[in-house]
Structure 1
Amino acid sequence: MNPQPYPLPGGGTGTELVIDQAAYHRQFAADVPAADAAVMAATQRPVATAALEEKTGEAAWKTIPSWALIATSDKNIPPAAERWMARRAGSHTTEVNASHAVAVSRPAEVTDVILDAARATR
């Protein structure tokens, strides 16, 4: 991760995290074809560190059903942490051998989880 400054509205500077383009394929999208990962690396939208530090309100998973897809080859969020969060939330869990870019590499499996959740909560 490469921290990069960016201007905040009204003044000041924030920090966003950018995945190094040379490491992007290996780190973020190992199961995506190299050419696609290169495009993803060049067009990535960094995450503002503030988004990782902000306090949230009441967690929705405490009162409504939840679904989780565990990407077992994720190098950004450890699968053990994903499993822990899913268990804590009582989520209906699906595991897929995929990288963090699971929505790109395994779109059918992601769609299935979304459709299962939609059908179950009608």
Structure 2
Amino acid sequence: MAAPALNAVPFTQADGSTMFDLYIKPDKFNDLFLSNRLSTAASTVLAATQRPLTAQAMGEPSRTPAWKTIPSWYLVADADHLIPPGRRAVHGPARARPHRRGRRAARCHDHQP
């Protein structure tokens, strides 16, 4: 997702430091997150009620991923406008090994039929 599609809203943490919540800009929400599949009215409601992603979360290390030891599934959503095309096909299969099961679908990020 391109940076111009995000609003960065600062907030103060308990220790006094400043962090940022990231929101998809309302005018970009329907295209990026929903691949223009909902009405403007419905998209406006979803954009207004979205939960933010904290910028800090983008750099936090994770623990041992469950997909390394248990069966996992992935979906490559070909109509997704949120994940760049070059990343869609490798993101799921690469992460799902060795117990991978995958499927491609003409769907967008919200995975609605």
Alpha-carbon RMSD across the aligned residues, in angstroms, is 1.6
**Aligned-partner SS, 1:16:** strand
Q: Which residue in 2 is equivalent to 1:99?
A: 108
Q: Does 1:85 align with 2:94?
A: no
Q: Counterpart of 1:21 in structure 2: which amino acid?
A: P
Structure 1 residue 72 corresponds to structure 2 residue 78:
yes
Residues 74, 93 of structure 2: 8 Å contact kept? no
Question: Do 1:73 and 1:79's aligned partners in 2 also have CA atoms closer than 8 Å?
Answer: no
Q: How many percent of aligned residue pairs carry the same amino acid?
A: 32
Q: Which structure has greater strand proportion? A: 2
Contact 2:11 2:18 in 1 (8 A): yes
Counterparts of 1:35 and 1:98, CA distance in 2: 21
1:10 aligned residue (10, 15, 20): 15
2:47 to 21, 33, 41: 41
For the residue of structure 2 that corresponds to 1:82, the secondary structure is helix
CA distance in 2 between partners of 1:83 and 1:64 (Å): 21
Task: Report the 3-state secondary structure (helix = DSSP H, G, I; strand = E; otherwise coil) of the residue aligned with 2:32.
Answer: helix
Distance 1:46 1:85 in 2: 22
- Letter matched to residue 31 of structure 2: R
Separation in structure 2 between the aligned mates of residue 35 and residue 95 of structure 1, nearest angstrom:
29
Runs of 5+ in structure 1 lacking a partner?
Answer: 107-122
2 CA distance for matches of 1:75 and 1:97?
12
Separation in 2 of the partners of 1:85 and 1:61? 13
Report which of the two has the higher share of helix: 1
Q: Which runs of 5+ in 2 are unaligned?
A: 1-5
Counterparts of 1:63 and 1:16 in 2: how far apart (Å)? 33
Q: How many angstroms apart in 2 are the aligned matches of 1:2 and 1:78?
A: 19
